[in-house]
Amino acid sequence: MIKVGIVGGTGYTGVELLRLLANHSGVSVEVITSRSEEGVRIDDMYPNLRGHYDLQFTVPDVEALSECEAVFFATPHGVAMKMAPELVERGVKVIDLGADFRIKDLELWSQWYGMEHTSPELAAKAVYGLPEVNREAIKGAQMLACPGCYPTATQLGFLPLIENKLIDHRRLIADVKSGVSGAGRGANIGSLLCESSESMKAYAVAGHRHLPEIKQGLSEAAGRPVGLTFVPHLTPMIRGIHATLYGKLKDPTDGLQELFEARYADEPFVDVMPAGSHPETRSVKGANICRISVFRPQNDDTVVVLSAIDNLVKGAAGQAIQNMNIMFGLDEAEGLKHAGMMP
């Protein structure tokens, strides 16, 4: 059994890690930390876990964490970059669900995240954990940066088009809708049921932190800098991201369906749906899967890709476990084989 630790276990990605790891045959969660909830049983905070764990939150402590073989950071940005270097040095494999190691250009990172990066050396070595792009590098990673939720849905949808240079890389549009859990478990007025249910809104249209991350990934795939307009929206549901992606085809193109199917044929967690399908986020609720469909409306030169994930699973905790499985040479799907929950 691989000994696992979780730093910052009180948020939604933390409890989702716990929910998923409870069904993983190869790991044992040994440590879970939270400064504010020290001494609280995790199942007092999350009663869905009653009977599954006998664990309390402890104060983060490098000694205790370095007894683990893998440590997940489910923390706001700025935390992992402080603790990860020592853990990695001691041989622990670190998997960061936060934003500290996603962006390679640390000046850019500083602009968007408003602080200096304190761990540039480790950032240079970190592997971006999108298995559908980086599987080989992930196998050998010591420091793994899990993609954000918006970037996962958006990149997986655009990749087949970008990699094959089928669309104008300067004019990508990503109109993406997220459930409220994407905003985390913080006590923000905007996330209250009375503020966010029975309503829809865009936010951060002028600029969102996931923009540089998506551009970085798509630019790598394109082999040159892409131009992207990214508009995130808050949707009145708990879980789910639905990306609606628009690109301008360079030439009239048939065979987009086959192209997408071929691109993801061997991917266990990307499902290209039959032509004409519209993926619903509820079909991926609780499951580590991205469902995609592709359209060319009116046979015109605009291609529309629909891409749906559960932001807490394929967009966070599930993808983190998928990465862990790859890093430790386990079955990539271990702990992630269950179906989504409909209704």
- Report, as residue numbers or ranges, the catalytic residues: 149
Name the residue among 198, 145, 160 with its Cα closest to residue 290: 160
- Specify the DSSP class assigned to residue 339: P
Minimum Å gap between C-beta 242 and its own copies is: 4
Q: How far apart are CA 292 and CA 272, in angstroms?
A: 5
CB 128 within 8 A of CB 102: yes
Tokens linked to 301: 């030169």
Minimum Å gap between C-beta 62 and its own copies is: 29
Q: How far apart are CA 341 and CA 190, in angstroms?
A: 27
Residue with smaller CB distance to its own copies, 49 or 64:
49
Residue with smaller CB distance to its own copies, 198 or 251:
198
Residue with smaller CB distance to its own copies, 142 or 191:
191
Minimum Å gap between C-beta 230 and its own copies is: 8
Which residues fall within 8 angstroms of residue 16, CB to CB, at 6 or more apart? 312, 313, 316, 317, 318
- Beta bridge partners, 128, equal 145
Minimum Å gap between C-beta 1 and its own copies is: 17
Minimum Å gap between C-beta 181 and its own copies is: 5
- Specify the DSSP class assigned to residue 10: T
Question: 20, exposed or middle or buried, with CB in 10 Å at 0-12, 13-18, 19+?
Answer: buried
Name the residue among 240, 292, 307, 195 with its Cα closest to residue 12: 240
Residue with smaller CB distance to its own copies, 24 or 93:
24
Residue with smaller CB distance to its own copies, 82 or 338:
338
